[in-house]
Amino acid sequence: MSSESGGPPWIAYNPDGSIHFGGVPDRLLNHPEMRRRGIKLGGAMNPGFVFRSIPTEDPQFIVKVLNLDTEELPIYERLLRELKSPRNHTIPCEIYREGHPLLIMPYLVQLDSLVIRDCPSLGRLLQIMQELAEGVEFLHQRHIAHLDICFNNIVAALGEHVSTHPASGLVFGRPYIIDFDTSRQLALGPGDQHAITLPSTQLPPPNDLKHFDPYSWDMYCLGRVYERIVDDFSFCTKYSPRVAWWCARWVVGEERGCLTTCRCRPSARTVRQVLSFIRVAAPLVEACERLYDRFFASPPARSQA
């Protein structure tokens, strides 16, 4: 049994009428577009909203039931029109519009898989950080604030994804920003926008603040993502890059509770430019830091955060 009308959540039920939180509702299992594409959905990633195809069958897909009470659909419509832009880090996907809108996209992995499998050097780590800043800058230039940037909302394409989705336009090693269900399209851009009331977010705001410059909030969250990937890189390589840690903490900033335009942290554009400059010297910086660590420092310990 499953819910049969209206928008999300689309709930799957057990035979006894209880909710099957990991299940796929019949209306999606039997959906004509799933049949046409040969997509066999195997379970829920976010019950009622996001579903994944069977992991053992390639190509693998994610199907998201769009909530029309949010701005996610119009935001995706805008971003997908500019997929050819190299600065656009929106995952290549399709909007199915007959009946209730569905978002159909390739299944990708979380960002830590990219760091573990394709990040052997400081230069590559800084490249990933720069591309993330580039993706956020692309949104902010269009007055789009994501408002829930976090590790769970950034995915990456590896070789197996590119090969099983050859027509999708996926780029190997590229991070993609997903999930715009709490995002906002704003009248003013960075540097002009005042604080707004934050929606529910996966990362807790500093100092229990309820109001934030939305663009500055995105940068705070990006800084926290930077901390996570630098920590992963440090653990995997036994090399803790001081310049990358500095950048992460610089982006997190020192929160002062601004209610007007926030100056507590840099803009996405500034971060992208600084990382681009640092990357030029990355091989020399890494060689010097590794030499120092070899003779004077202990191997880095894994963060408990």
Q: Across residues 72-89, what is the average pLDDT?
A: 97
What distance in Å separates the CA atoms of residue 173 and residue 225, rounded to the nearest whole number? 17
Hey, what are 260's tokens? 């007007």
Residue with tokens 């992963």: 232
Q: pLDDT at position 241, please?
A: 95
Q: How high is the pLDDT of residue 257?
A: 85
Instruction: Please tell me whether the peptide bond between 9 and the residue prior to it is cis, using omega within 30 degrees of 0.
Output: yes
**Which is nearest to 49 in space by CA: 41, 39, 58?**
41
Answer yes or no: is pLDDT of 153 > 70. yes
Asked if the model's pLDDT at residue 57 lies above 70, the reply is yes
Q: How large is the average pLDDT for residues 148-160?
A: 96
The predicted structure's pLDDT at residue 1: 41
| pLDDT greater than 80 at residue 298 | no
Check residue 283 and give its pLDDT: 93
Residue bearing tokens 């910086």: 285
Q: Is 39 exposed, middle or buried (0-12, 13-18, 19+ CB in 10 A)?
A: buried
Q: Is the pLDDT of residue 80 over 80?
A: yes
Q: Rounded to whole angstroms, how far apart are CA atoms 195 and 153?
A: 23
Predicted TM-score of the model (pTM): 0.92
% of the chain beyond a pLDDT of 90: 86
**197-255 pLDDT per residue, tens:** 999 999 999 988 999 999 999 999 999 999 999 999 999 999 999 999 999 999 999 98
Q: For the chain, give percent helix, strand, coil, nearest 5.
A: 40, 15, 45
Average pLDDT over the chain, rounded to an integer? 93
